[in-house]
Structure 1
Amino acid sequence: MSTEIKEMHTVGGQAGSHKRRHSRIFWRDTIEGYLFISPVILGLMIWTFGPMLASFYLSLTDYPLLKAPEFIGLRNYVDIFSAAYLRVLDSLWVTLKYAAISLPITLIASLAAAVLLNQRLRGMNFFRTAFYLPTIVPSIAMVFVWGWLLNPEFDWSTPRWNRSGCQPYAGLQSRRRH
């Protein structure tokens, strides 16, 4: 029995070394994609990383309430783990125990509620509504409040507009298109 070995030849060098040239459409789509996600990235940087960096900086300072912060470096971290501050370790232990107990209970209860709500039992529509109602109520309340505030019959803004010399705001009844 014989084994035959064939060599593979590729055009232009080794297989896989061919660099694909990207077209204008590729670059346009790439730039559009980055533009679409840029508000999320910007919001993440401002509202998440900004406060994290500010908190880290403040952790390196001594900051009395009515005075300017004084930079002290890592002294706060050294103090936390010194003998005088062992109570911090006690509170960390209590926090870990609380998380170890409450997390499984919460997960099991949530899973049980989801499984129960997915069953076809008599009266289940009522319980599904009761579960979902707290999510809808704030939005409905907001619609009613704004409808009341923008109602020209209630006219809460006319005295303010008249004092400023402007026309009253017509609210929801306005036929004018901007």
Structure 2
Amino acid sequence: MRPAQAFKHLFKIAVPLLIGSAAHHALADTYSFSQMNYNDGATVTGYFTGNDSNNNGYIETVAGYSELTNFSLSYSGSTLGGDFTLGLADLLSLTNFGGGMIYVVGSSTLGGDPGGLDGALYVGNADVTLIVTTGYAAGYGGIAFLNTLGTVTASPEIMQITHQGNQVPEPSSILLAMLGGGALMRQRRSRKAKTR
């Protein structure tokens, strides 16, 4: 096989793989969550975006591995004045210390199972540390350590999860797919012209 033919053969294989990879990442699912009735009147709300890329039934971010592409958590309405927002960087910063998030795909709750079988969340920064799992403290669905205020507050509620759907593919993925499709069409046309 000539080098030019080998390159064409490799190109035939690589383009569909690139297109498939771009489509896989562009179709991450977005979920919203909420948890109310913290002792200080606070409510936890937010969202996360990710996909189960290793097909193990979980969307997770743990030490050295993350399937999340976006995360935002808001702790607001506290009578103590402790309103905070945490992002993906805050979540990832604790993964080497036992923190992170595990969500069971398809579950409508997080941390509701006493054995932690429907996932858990452990996120924080210098201002606040939030732990969501019934396995941490019996009778509580979430515990917030308000570090800057020097107090702890808790909620008996289980965190509720709502699937919001797939993300719309970003323009770069659409462009990549169009370029790959165009290259395949050009290759097919040039092959037909050679056989005539």
Q: Relative contact order (alpha carbons < 8 A, sep ≥ 6): 1 or 2 greater?
A: 2
TM-score (norm 1): 0.25
More helix by share: 1
More strand by share: 2
